[in-house]
């Protein structure tokens, strides 16, 4: 087995675990593929079962048929967003992207350095494409659209026909967490209370850890107010340590700590 290179243009690994194989040839059907994942906290690894690519050699023209589906995705401020647009067709399709604004489709012209071209083009900075234009990357640091929601349209076409898919890109609201108080001093037998404050209306979940181990409410330990308040009753020496609250939003996870 060999490790695939995501930078040679042939393979592209997406953040959601999908692998794109561009410019598929008959020889690709002889290989087997598997993924390996790494747990970032425990450093343990696990491998998937193997998969193969079945390559057909059509003798007739085939109009594009979308493999990827229309969807709504979130663009965070911390990582680029990869938008795959993949269609099956013979001969292989060409891809074009538009931004839809006010019912008008504005072409997005991209290069390795961002938006280029003349005439009426979408002012979307920080865009790049791969795989004959079928995969778009949006860089949140240079993406110029100020709208909370951007509607993109991808078209795959060849001489036999065309097909389209739509992607709604929504700006993800970053999650912020504040754990108070920073240092808790409690007399033996007293009650220690920590509060994990999460400003904003966005949905989230909260989990608590002590010295890296998850806290389960039981006995002297209580977690209330939707998970935002941790209460330790009958405090003893064993309760001293580092406490963390982890807040998970739609797109990211943030943590804060106290003692």
123 or 105, higher pLDDT: 105
| Domain layout of the chain by residue ranges | 1-57, 58-171, 178-258
**What is the predicted pLDDT for the residue at 142?**
58
pTM of structure = 0.63
The whole-number average pLDDT for the span 124-145 is 63
Mean pLDDT calculated for residue range 125-143: 64
pLDDT at 122: 42
User: 178-258 maps to which CATH number?
Assistant: 2.60.40.10
Q: Evaluate whether 1-57 and 178-258 have a shared fold.
A: yes
- In this predicted structure, what is the pLDDT of residue 120? 36
Residue 151 · residue 108 · CB < 8 Å: no
> 58-171, superfamily in CATH?
Immunoglobulins (2.60.40.10)
pLDDT at residue number 220: 92
The domain covering 1-57 belongs, at the CATH homologous superfamily level, to Immunoglobulins (2.60.40.10)
pLDDT digits (tens, 9 = 90+) for 140-189: 665 555 567 888 899 999 999 999 999 998 877 777 888 888 888 889 99
């Amino acid at each position: 087995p060999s490790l695939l290179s995501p930078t040679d243009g042939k393979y592209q690994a997406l953040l959601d675990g999908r692998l794109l194989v561009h410019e598929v040839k008959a020889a690709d059907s002889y290989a087997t593929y598997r993924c390996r994942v790494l747990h970032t906290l425990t450093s343990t690894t696990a491998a998937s079962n193997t998969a193969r690519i079945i390559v057909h050699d059509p003798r007739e023209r085939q109009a594009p048929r979308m493999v990827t589906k229309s969807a709504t995705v979130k663009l965070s401020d911390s990582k680029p967003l990869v938008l795959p647009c993949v269609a099956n067709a013979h001969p292989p399709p060409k891809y074009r992207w538009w931004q839809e604004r006010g019912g008008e489709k504005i072409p997005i012209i991209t290069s390795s350095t961002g938006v280029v071209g003349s005439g009426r083009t979408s002012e979307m900075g920080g865009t790049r494409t791969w795989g004959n234009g079928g995969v778009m990357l949006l860089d949140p640091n240079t993406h110029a659209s100020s709208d909370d929601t951007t509607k993109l349209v991808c078209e795959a076409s060849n001489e036999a026909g065309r097909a389209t898919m739509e992607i709604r890109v929504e700006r993800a609201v970053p999650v912020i967490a504040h754990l108070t108080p920073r240092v808790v001093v409690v007399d033996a037998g007293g009650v220690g209370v920590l509060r994990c404050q999460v400003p904003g209306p966005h949905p989230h979940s909260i989990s608590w850890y002590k010295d890296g181990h998850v806290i389960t409410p039981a006995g002297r330990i209580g977690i209330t107010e939707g998970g935002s308040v941790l209460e330790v009753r009958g405090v003893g020496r064993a309760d001293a340590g580092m406490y963390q609250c982890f807040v998970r939003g739609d797109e990211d996870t943030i943590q804060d700590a106290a003692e």
